[in-house]
Amino acid sequence: LMEQYGLTAKQLKLFKFIKNYIAKNTVSPSYEEMMVAVHLKSKNSINKYVSQLEDRKWIKKLSGKARSIQILK
């Protein structure tokens, strides 16, 4: 089921969390909030997932700015 999105379960979970968070708060979540939401223990892991989502063109990160992820899908 997840494969149809071209994302792993964790990537999809993170994407949906970011999307819902932005819908409610207008800014994107902090890395700490993302870590809690998808049960990851390090910012490094989150960074990896964010980069993977960006590579797949699901999100766009505005460089040099905190809480500046944009949803592309």
- What secondary structure does DSSP assign to 3-34, as a single string? GGGTS-HHHHHHHHHHHHHHHHHSSPPPHHHH
pTM flag (> 0.95): no
Q: Provide the pLDDT for residue 60.
A: 96
Q: Is 3 exposed, middle or buried (0-12, 13-18, 19+ CB in 10 A)?
A: exposed
pLDDT tens sequence across 34-71: 999 999 999 999 999 999 999 999 999 988 788 899 99
